[in-house]
C-alpha cells in the first residue's frame, strides 16, 4: 500500500500482564489527525501521500527523517453541549464532537490552555475547585488537589473525597451531594462559588447522581474535567496561564518554512 493509513489503538491494562496494545481499526484514508499533524510539523502530508500514490518516493520528495515539531501542539475536540438542553457532558465511546481546534505554545501547559480556550472551555487561574471522585481515583487525586492548592485554589469536595484530602493534610471544605440535602454542590455552582470541577463518576448510580452538577456547570460555564488525566493536564495549563500576562496568538506561517 502507498499513501496514508489511519490506525486506531486500544490499550488494555492488566494487573498481571501489564499493558497490551491492540489495533482495533485500520482505514486507508486521511483522517482528521492528518491535517493536525501537518500543521504541527509543517509537512504537507496529504500532498506527499498523493505523490507517493502516483509513484514518487520519499527520498525524491525530501522526506527521509521523522519531522520534529518546533513547538508543542495540542488537539482538542469541540463539544457543543450548550446547544442541546438537558444533555450530559460525561463522555463515552460515541462521537459527540462537531469540530476540533489546536493550541500551539513552547510548552505543553500553555498549549493545552490555548486549546481549551479555543474550544470554549477557558480554564480559571484562581477561585474554588470542586472535587468528587470514585474510590479508586481518590489516592491519585491527592497530588492533583495539592498542586491546585499550591496554585492558590480553595478546595471543596463531597464527604468521601474531602476525608481523603484532609487526611493527606490538605485544607478542604465539605459540601453535600445533590441527593443529600441543601445547600448542596449544585447550589454552590449556581451561586457562582465554583470555578473548576473535577468529577470522575463510575457506575450507574454515580453517573446519575452527578448528572445534575454537570448540567449546572454547563449552564453556568464552569469548566469540568471527568478524568484524572484531564485534571493533571488542566493543572499544568493553569500553572502556565498564571505565568502569562496575556495569551498570544501564533500564525502557522510564522512557525514553518514553506515546503
**18 pLDDT more than 90:** no
Q: What is the pLDDT of residue 85?
A: 66
Query: What pTM was estimated for this model as a whole?
Result: 0.84
Q: Among 112, 104, 101, 108, which Cα is nearest to 78's?
A: 101
**259 pLDDT more than 90:** no
Q: What is the pLDDT of residue 136?
A: 86
The residue with greater pLDDT, 76 or 94, is: 76
Question: Tell me: the pLDDT tens digits for 222-249?
Answer: 998 888 999 999 999 999 999 988 888 8
Give the residue-averaged pLDDT of 17-37: 87
Q: Return the CATH superfamily for domain 73-242.
A: Methylglyoxal synthase-like domain (3.40.50.1380)
Question: Tell me: the pLDDT tens digits for 84-112?
Answer: 766 666 666 667 777 899 999 999 999 99
Residue 203 banded pLDDT, cuts 50, 70, 90: low
Q: What is the pLDDT of residue 148?
A: 96
Distance CA 30, CA 49 (A): 9
Query: What are 76's strand-pairing partners?
Result: 101
Q: What is the pLDDT of residue 31?
A: 79
Q: What is the pLDDT of residue 205?
A: 52
User: What are the structural domain ranges in the chain?
Assistant: 6-68, 73-242
**206 pLDDT more than 70:** no
What is the average pLDDT score of the chain? Answer: 88
Lowest mean pLDDT of 31-35, 59-63, 173-177, name the range: 31-35
Could you please report the per-residue DSSP string of the chain?
--S--EEEEEEEEETTTEEEEEEEEEESS--THHHHHHHHH---HHHHHHHHHTT--HHHHT--S----SSEEEEEEE--GGGSTT------SS---SEEEEEEESSHHHHHHHHHHHTT-PPPSSSEEEEEE-GGGHHHHHHHHHHHHHTT-EEEE-HHHHHHHHHTT--EEE-B-GGG-SSBHHHHHHTT--SEEEEE--SHHHHHHHHHHHHHHHHTT--EE-SHHHHHHHHHHHHHHHT-SSPPP--HHHHS---
Percent of the chain surpassing pLDDT 90: 49
Q: What is the pLDDT of residue 204?
A: 55
Give the residue-averaged pLDDT of 20-47: 90
Question: Tell me: the pLDDT tens digits for 113-131?
Answer: 999 999 888 999 999 999 9
Residue 170 banded pLDDT, cuts 50, 70, 90: very high
Amino acid at each position: 500500500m502507498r499513501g496514508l493509513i489511519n490506525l486506531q489503538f486500544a490499550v488494555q491494562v492488566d494487573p498481571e500482564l501489564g499493558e497490551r496494545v491492540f489495533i482495533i481499526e485500520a482505514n486507508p484514508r486521511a483522517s482528521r489527525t492528518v491535517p493536525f499533524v501537518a500543521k504541527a510539523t509543517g509537512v504537507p502530508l496529504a500532498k506527499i501521500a498523493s505523490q507517493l500514490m502516483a509513484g514518487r518516493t520519499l527520498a525524491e520528495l525530501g522526506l527521509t527523517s521523522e519531522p520534529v515539531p518546533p513547538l508543542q501542539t495540542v488537539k482538542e475536540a469541540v463539544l457543543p453541549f450548550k446547544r442541546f438542553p438537558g444533555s450530559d457532558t460525561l463522555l463515552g465511546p460515541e462521537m459527540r464532537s462537531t469540530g476540533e481546534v489546536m493550541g500551539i505554545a513552547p510548552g505543553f501547559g500553555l498549549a493545552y490552555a490555548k486549546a481549551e480556550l479555543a474550544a470554549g472551555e477557558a480554564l480559571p487561574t484562581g477561585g474554588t475547585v470542586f472535587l468528587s471522585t470514585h474510590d479508586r481515583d481518590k489516592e491519585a487525586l491527592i497530588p492533583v488537589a495539592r498542586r491546585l492548592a499550591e496554585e492558590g485554589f480553595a478546595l471543596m469536595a463531597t464527604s468521601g473525597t474531602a476525608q481523603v484530602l484532609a487526611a493527606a493534610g490538605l485544607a478542604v471544605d465539605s459540601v453535600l451531594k445533590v441527593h443529600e440535602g441543601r445547600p448542596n454542590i449544585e447550589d454552590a455552582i449556581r451561586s457562582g462559588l465554583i470555578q473548576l470541577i473535577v468529577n470522575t463518576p463510575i457506575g450507574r448510580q454515580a453517573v446519575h447522581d452527578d448528572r445534575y452538577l454537570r448540567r449546572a456547570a454547563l449552564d453556568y460555564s464552569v469548566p469540568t474535567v471527568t478524568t484524572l488525566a484531564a485534571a493533571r493536564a488542566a493543572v499544568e495549563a493553569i500553572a502556565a496561564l498564571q505565568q502569562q500576562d496575556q495569551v498570544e496568538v501564533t500564525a502557522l506561517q510564522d512557525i514553518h518554512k514553506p515546503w
